[in-house]
Structure formats: C-alpha cells, structure tokens
Structure 1
C-alpha cells in the first residue's frame, strides 16, 4: 500500500505528540479528541501552557489517592445519610406502614384467589348471595 504524504503541519503535530505521550492518554481516556488537540496546537503553538498542564495532570500520582478519598467520602456520606434517616424514623409510624402494606397484600391475594377460581367453592367468610326470590312481600 502506498502511504499518503501528510501535510507538513500534520507531520509536525505527530512529532509533537511523540514527544508528549501524555496527550495519547488524554485522548484514550476520552477527555479530548485528536481534532481538538491539533486545533489547539495549531493555534496556540508548542510552547503554550496547556501542554504542560496535560503532562502535569497525568504525572501526579497523588491525584489517584485523592480520588479514592473522595469515593470513600461519598460512600461514607451515603452510609451516614442512611443511618441518619433510620435514627429519625418513628417506630409507630413504621408499624403503621407495615400494617397498611400487609392489608394491601391481603387484598391483592383476595383478588387473585377470585380470578384463579376455587372450583366453584365460595371463599370462606362470604355471606350467601341473598334470597332466591328477591320479591318477598308479606301478605296482610
């Protein structure tokens, strides 16, 4: 395959990237794109402070423990929030909610048992469906 000849500015940018391998990591991490880096390099030049910033951000090993600390702080905050909510709960109110939930589940079970059918048997506790003759009048 014949290799295309690159524009001189693109060739210079490739050399610049080879001298600054941290830029490759920036693109791989998704923090930026090659197009953005090229445009910045073309407009700002090789001596801009942006390029030093990229190298310093990735070279600092102290950032990783800080990130871990923030993650543990977030987990700690979550646990403390949950514990705070548990401490604020009223046991009587919780019992009331549990009773309401139990009644709702009982009602759902009753509806399901009606739809499943009990082979013609009436569910226990239901009164008979009324008199056979709905027009019962007394004679004088």
Structure 2
C-alpha cells in the first residue's frame, strides 16, 4: 500500500524535485487550473480554518493561490525533496495546549492562525520534527518539514 501511495504521488514529485520554491513559481503561472483534479475544501477544527492537499500539479497550484492563511506547511522527504502526504501534525500554543491536530495530511497544509508563537510537531513513520514559528500581523510564515529518508 505504501509503495502504491508513493507511486501515485511520483508525478507531483517529479514536477517539484527542487521543493517548495519551485512550486511557487508554478503557482503564479497563467495556465488555467483543471478544477476537476482539485479536491480542496476548507475545514475547521477548534475554530481554526485550514486547507490540506496539494496532490498533483493542479491541486498544488490551487492551494497556493488560497488567501488568508498565515501558516503554510509543506512536507517532503529524501534528497529529491519529494512531497509526502502522510504526515500527522499538531499545532500547540507555547504553553503546550493543543490547538489543531491533523492526521495523514499534506503534502501542503495552510492554516489560519492569529499572530503569536506556535509549536509545530510533524510526525511521519514514527519520526518527529518540532519547530517553533512566530506569526506577525498577518504576514505569511512558510515552514517545510523534511525527513531525510524515504521511509
């Protein structure tokens, strides 16, 4: 199953072998997005709105055009920075209280958070990454969680 999932996402990974910055240039492309290939829907948890997706070029371009999300998370693995969609994410305030918990999301997640400092914990295949981000006055903060192995 894991092999099939990785194979299914190889098309998107080939397009963005150099990671998130390459995708940003595609997002500003004037090429139309095939909306039939886009499965994005804003969701909410604990009053926090978020988007999760980015499978395939059209969906990744569509999510990158979404406005109003102050935290942009991307998940990648390996030396080719291949996108991975199977990450568990926990966003906590600095006191350790859980604000948002998402399972098996990605490879791109956009979150609407108020200004402040947050702890982002990403877990994939039992390997955890922990980062602190500071959101200031509506500015967008980008964070890529990268796992060095392809497990």
Bucket of the pairwise TM-score, normalised by the shorter protein:
under 0.3
Greater fraction helix = 1
Greater relative contact order (CA < 8 Å, ≥ 6 in sequence): 2
Give the TM-score taking structure 1 as reference length: 0.21
Give the TM-score taking structure 2 as reference length: 0.20
**Bigger radius of gyration:** 1
